[in-house]
Structure 1
Amino acid sequence: MADLQHILDDIAHDMAGATERGRIADYIPDLAAVDPRHFGIAVVDADGRTFLAGDATTRFSVQSITKVFSLTMALGTTGDALWQRVGREPSGTAFNSIVQLETEQGIPRNPFINAGAIVIADVLLARHEPRETIAEFVRFIRQLTGDDSIVIDRHVAAGEQATGYRNVALANYMRAFGNIRHPVEKVLGTYFHQCALAMDCRQLAMAGRYLMMGGTDPETGRSVVTSQRARRILALMLTCGHYDASGDFAFRVGLPGKSGVGGGILAIAPGSASIAVWSPGLDAKGNSLLGRRALERLVQHTGWSVFEPMACVMPDNRP
């Protein structure tokens, strides 16, 4: 197999020349100003090697990818009792849809749609006020990456608070069913700030290493989650991580992944690699258009799909 760095360089070159780039998420003011020509990709492998190409060190708004990390934290505080308030099934609807909450008594289908992540924010508020909850979330990300420079973009958070009317509706609707237990403004403030986390592809790939390694931080040897919970988070990423396009992503890429409307995707090849890709143009379902195509290309070259017999064997890139 060709050298992994060469593969990433080729992918970045081809994506830079792509004419079809998708549409920027313009309903969040700061995201509307992002240059659609950006493309970055980063891979951290099981041996700790890092491979970068394109704009892999340019920070972007991670948005819904942070739902993976807030879910990890919530499972650590409440365990499996969490699933009494959030489901584990694909939604088959848009990420900000309200239609299922009526028939399902205010229980979101999964933790990766907006309604589910808002419930997760409510769970995390059980121990602290919003300021402390947000600070704890940032500390967790910094621990995962070993990088204390990671911060929340407060301009993005303020823009989301000013325009997030549908999320306000979702939160109030779930509160009416008793599934939001703290004041709605506190829950949404926490949620918006988590989504406004700013990271680059390298940092994001570093943050996903514990899922690559069965729940263990490879840098410290510390257990972030149990191996069983790591598998379950990956299962949810595979089945729900791209909203109503999750089946298509599994079909084309074959890896657990989580997208965000900032154009990022975190994908995990269990036992082999943590991968982050960023291209801000979105497809009709709200997922990075070139990001998905780049991951599809990467999997074709590496065989990292979980549906491949040798999916967990890391290709040797040493000379």
Structure 2
Amino acid sequence: MDYQKILEEIHQEVLPLVDKGKVADYIPELANVDRNKFGIYLLTLDDNAYAVGDVLEKFSIQSISKVFMLALTISHLGEKVYDRVDVEPSGDPFNSLVQLEHESGIPRNPFINSGALVITDMMISSFADPRAEFLEYVRDLVGQADVFCNKKVAASEKEHGFKNAAMVNLMKSFGNIENDVDEVLDLYFEFCSIEMTCSELARAFRVFANHGRGVIDTKKYITESQFKRITAIMQTCGFYDEAGEFAFRVGLPGKSGVGGGIAAILPDKYSIVTWSPGLNKKGNSLAGMKALELFTTKTGTSIF
């Protein structure tokens, strides 16, 4: 299959959508991102790479980091992670407080903001230096050391993160946050502010496409059972309240972020990453969603 030709065709087809979405300007630092950017990067398990567009430019991965947060935490704590975070799709916006109040401070899943805040709290309780532990883990997945948090983006999120602060305080009132709320928020904002290129993110996600094992070094990051569960949560909860639409149109487990990135996998075959900062009303990349729909349609590859 001529993947390069297919990616080039997709690029041309989604160009009219690239400048139509809205950047995540509720995080002021992200309001400065050029919404005309677009990249798509495919990486196979046998180490073939295909790319079009702005695939070597760093961008804020935002909620995509929640996959790495969950993987690291579950590899350390095991199944008891799910005692404090559920695994159901939310059906509500990623920063909703309504369900959290109704369900006694237990987040619906680890990929909405409240769920990731609880995971962050677990990391603080589990690691002497969770910041260093997490960065080292992500750098290990990517296979390079120059992966960093963007301090300006993290500060911008903190300055305007009122709903996240409300969530963590609400969960604290229900006893589902063990540590200082400011410490949890600061660390969470830093994790979301990690920057990567499409190619770096594809390398990190290829580990998940390979059932939690490194492709080059064969290091085991998560067990087969943990891979199964994380992949299932990506499929059902990876796109906020648009997860069903993504499964219907694309058919790959993945995770989006309001920085405009989408990372997805076909287990045993490939990882694929798109980046286009213009978002639809649900907070997912407008051109990125369409690009991945076209990719699985043209290649006939999905989990279904």
> What TM-score comes out, normalization by structure 1 length?
0.93
Amino acid at match of 1:105: S
Counterpart position of 2:33: 34
Paired residues of 1:264 and 1:291 also in contact (CA < 8 A): yes
What runs of 5+ residues in structure 1 fail to find an aligned partner? 308-319
**Contact 2:238–2:255 (Cα < 8 Å) also in 1:** yes
Tell me which of 218, 221, 228 is aligned to 1:221.
Answer: 218
Instruction: Note if 1:148 corresponds to 2:145.
Output: yes
Partner of 1:59: 58
Q: Distance in 1 between matches of 2:12 and 2:139?
A: 31
Corresponding position: 1:158 with 2:155: yes
Deviation at 1:112, TM superposition (A): 0.3
Give secondary structure in 2 for the equivalent of 1:306. Answer: coil
1:284 and 2:281 correspond: yes
Give the match for residue 256 of structure 2. Answer: 259
Deviates more, 1:83-92 or 1:296-305: 296-305
Residue 16 (structure 1) shift: 3.1
Q: Name 2:300's counterpart in structure 1.
A: 303
Identity between Structure 1 and Structure 2 (%): 47
**Secondary structure of 1:285 counterpart:** coil
Structure 2 residue matching 1:267: 3-state secondary structure: strand
Residue 17 (structure 1) shift: 4.0
C-alpha distance in structure 1 between counterparts of 2:154 and 2:11, whole Å: 30
The secondary structure found in structure 2 opposite 1:53 is strand
> Is the contact made by 2:201 and 2:273 (CA closer than 8 Å) also made in structure 1?
yes
Under a length normalisation based on structure 2, what TM-score does the superposition of the two structures give? 0.98
Q: Which residue is equivalent to 1:47?
A: 46
Q: 2:86·2:109 contact (CA, 8 Å) conserved in 1?
A: yes
Do the aligned residues in 2 keep the contact of 1:15 with 1:39 (CA within 8 Å)?
no
The number of equivalent residue pairs is 304
Partners of 1:112 and 1:16 lie apart in 2 by 29
CA, structure 1 residues 38+19, in 2 after alignment: closer, same or farther (shift >3 Å)? closer
Pair 38,141 (structure 1): closer, same or farther in 2 beyond 3 Å: same
2: CA distance, partners of 1:56 / 1:202: 6
Q: Which secondary structure state, in structure 2, belongs to the residue aligned with residue 18 of structure 1?
A: helix
Which residues in structure 2 correspond to 1:91-110 (within 5 Å)?
A: 91-110=90-109
Alignment of structure 1 residues 1-319 onto 2, 5 Å: 1=1, 3-18=2-17, 21-128=20-127, 132-307=129-304
- Structure 2: state its 5+ residue gaps: none
